[in-house]
Structure 1
Amino acid sequence: MMTSPSPKFHLLSESGLRVGHLNVYHLLNKVPDISSFLNIEHPCIHLLGLSETRLDYRMSDESIEIPQYFTFRRDAVKQGETGLAIYIHSSIQSITTRRSDLESQSVESLWVEISHSKSPSLLVGFIYRNPTATYAWYDEFLVMLDKVADSKKNILLLGDFNIDLSKSHSAWESTYSLVGLHQLVNKPTRVTSTTDTLIDHIYTNRQDLLHNVSVPNIGISDHYPVLCTWSMKLPRHAPKGHTTIQYRTFKRFNKDIFLFDISCAPFSNVYSFNDPDDAMLAWYNIFMPIIDKHAPLRKKRVKHPKLPPWLTKDVIGAMAIRDRLKKEKKFDDFKKQRNRVKSLVRSAKKAYFDRLVETDKSTSMIWKAINEITNKSNRKTDNTTPPISPNVFNTHFLTLAETLAQSSGCTTDNFVCSTLLSNLCGKKLKPDDNFSIPPMTVLDVGKCISMMANNKSTGRDNISPCLLKLALPYIVEPLTYIYNLSIQKNVFPTVLKKAKVIPLPKVKDLSEPNNFRPISILPLLSKPIERHVHKHLLKFFNERDLLSHSQSGFRPKHSCHTALTKLFDNWLTAINNSE
């Protein structure tokens, strides 16, 4: 099998806004190629416009999704249109708005505005002109450009105009000159075995701000992309080619030495404390230095976003060979290699999804495979950085509970049990019914920690389930003492209340904190006592029939299926009773 190193184009070296256009000719079939191009390109392309996407209402945004990018699209709705789309990098999402008011009904176009406080606003447009367009198209184009020019802003226009500027075209040159635009591409953009034409153009009214115009030999379609760099300042969180992650390294981890150090640790000191907070802090002060010594925290640079798991080195290498063959104008070999790339993509996808389902036949893995096949996996939990500071998120989430309580007219100081709830409890509970939490045993704590999934997310302490399980024989007794002390004193250790909060977007608009829901990841050490209390509280409710029979959430042997079954039974009974 022929392979080659992953392609690295290094086309856009200057800092600024990096913009490109490509006639993709059927986007849905080219998403792997576009994903590879956008994720491998360094530095990244901020805006990539695509023409001839051939998308319609049946094709969702998820079907063309690429990590780190969101999309604007204009699908073909009438004869002569072929569809446009723009991939916009998440780093400029907060300063990018669509300008539908500038888009013409007669000229297939997409316009966005890039507005940053430290640079003049820029209007970026993407155009497709059908080769069958009549002379009326030129008049409509001028009407649209007059409206754009009236904004008195910088203009950058890219697209497939199907006008070959490798030959003299005085009528078209006078047309774009009327609105003060200059064309900057000077190399053929569509190369076949018989023709070399320059039909993909870049226009601007500020040549001094446009740099690094290039036409890379990428064989994604029969057109080459056109790329350029616009000089402007971007937000500080704009990508610099990598992101950073924190993790515990086990490179020099020695299990025997780790267990020896744990066995010698003075965990007995925990028993000298009668306050759960003090006891828990003492346990942390003993345990943390040991794991920091054997599995220290490290920061790692991740140069590129994660590519789709099925996009293997063989596929990327085959794409590089395809591009090279087109560059060398070996068109017969290029067509064969292009078909081979398509076949490799299909085979790689099939092999990955077969492996995903066959290795673990659980329902969750089957859904994961289905979501990845349909490109719908984790679209709201990607690595997009919201344009909101952590302090704003913290303030919003910390005051959320108080705000909700005040809106309902009660607080923790003046909570009043509702009459309905009081009557229910009065009927179900006996006068001597009291709920109490029994103490935990060493077996309870050990069983809970042993059953933790190894891939469970860690809290602020970065203690993983693997380390807890490994050290379990030496830490289970002092932990049991702390949990029982917490039950006895009715105090939950403060350190176990501190969560790592991750804001997940509920909608596409990332500008408002209300559009996020917080996911709180507590330390793993909070789980044993949490589950112990839950177990006995649920038992108390069930024995006294305090839970509604209609409640299916958060109950064993209940689910959406049981709720729907009950509803269907009620509906069928009502139908049979002519109700």
Structure 2
Amino acid sequence: MVETNRTLIVQMLDKDMIDLIEKLTTTIIHIQKEIGMGVTNVVNLITTNPTDIGQEGSAIENAKCNDFLKIVHTNAQSILGHILEIQLMLEEQKIDILCISETWLYPYISDTFIHIPEYNIYREDHGRGGGVCLYIRNYLKVTELKFGIEKQEGVEDKWVSVQHRKFPSIIVGCVYRHPKAAVTSFNYISDVFKEVILRNKPIFIYGDFNDDLLKKENKLGKLIKNLRFDQIVDKPTRITSTSASLIDLVITNSKYMIRKSEVTPSSIADHENILTLLNVRKPKRQTIFKTFRCLKNYFQETLCSLLMNNVHILNQILSTDNVSKQVEVLTNVFTSCVDMCAPVVTREVTRPPAPWISDTIKETIMVRDNVKKKLKNQRENTQLRETHKELKKKVNSMLTDSRRQYYKQEFKNAKGDMAATWKITNNMLFNRINSDTNKLNCDTKDDLQRKAEEFNEFFAEVGRKTFEKTQEELHNRMPLETDPIIPHSRVDSFKPRPVDCNTVILVIKDLKETNAFGSDVWGCTNKSQLQRVQKLQNFAARVAVGNVRKFEHVTPHLKELEWLKIRDQYTLDMCTMLFA
């Protein structure tokens, strides 16, 4: 009753009277703190049992130890007029963060009039018809975020960084866009979203954007798609007797953290509430599996003998002129034989081997990690922070030097063996590429399916547009007498010829065992490809020699390693092929 009367008075009085009431209220609250309880606590003591108070305290302690955050968005249409309903909703639903649009607060209205116990308030005021605020539990670590972007009329937004326990922090934003805001307001929203993305944290944006996503033409939907965000709400959030629209949204870049989301009815305004339950615990790395053929027990002679045992099946190729049947017979026989020699296996991908990490480096890494643990509990210890920085530099330096020495020794041991040299080069260069491509496996199944569909659609469109453009040019082009006539006899006369099993076996026996960069691929290379390979060889020589300056000429080091330049190797191999 006291809260209701105070709300009505605030709505009726002017600024001067509000300042006077504010001073009186501050004095009353000071007295209440001296006593040890507030007005709300006094009312609760009258209407509740002592055991209920103990249960409420234990519920708060359980919430502190929980891994989840409950975030709700509602459209209040005046906080002062619905402060009791908001307080009841916070207590009953045990909400951790409440985002409110259309607060209708003025800057001269103090937080005292909208204070709710155990919650801190963060607000951006506009007056009647706008404004946003966030009620956040007082045990959560909160940092207000500000961006150097000029405010746009028609949009109010508030951004905070929230950390629960020692889990990674997340960014929560509350945005309200006025129904009659200019089109340029979307440019401001886009700029703010881009600034938030640069923080490289999980982002959760709640708000009333007044742009119906159920309509085909909406600018906000395109903005969300271009910035690679996800919009969670899929049901109308504002339902009237004549319309239903989806204007209250939840936008995020970390959809995997949302364990539950639902639209619930609201008793405050004609907008529905949006509830989300977030799991803020850092997810474990998903297990990555790789499927490949195991060549451990593969031998060329074994494969040939298996093919010889299936000669009676391969002879079926000669008994039919159907190309599809011939290909099917050959494929089935060859696949079954290869499966016996080199079966397909699926294994878990572990970290790549790092033989250059010695025991000394491991001990230094352990010391660095222990200092880092101490630093988490003693963040103000500057000496410990400097020690941690020095240990980090030392570990990185030791890893770099040890890796360089390891590969230098490997190149010396493989001197004269071109196949082994290229194998070492591949391992040295592509470990970094493989570590980057493993990040793609963190995508969900839906994301991978969507990317595959977009990829296929892109190339399908390229082929169709190319064909249409070609046909259009051919149609518009007038044939000339000097145009050459392209014969089609080769294409028309092409027919596949049957091959006997002995020919297949001879081809398999003539296959080269090495995968080195040799003369078998020089025939399809050009000048630009040779230059690329030369750059790769120069890089490998710099790594093998070590301590080479950036602009130092690499030719002396190639002579030291007794490596031919790629152009000379190309000439040597071609001469060998011609005169051998």
TM-score range, shorter chain: 0.3 to 0.5
TM-score where L is the length of structure 2: 0.36
TM-score where L is the length of structure 1: 0.36
Larger radius of gyration: 2
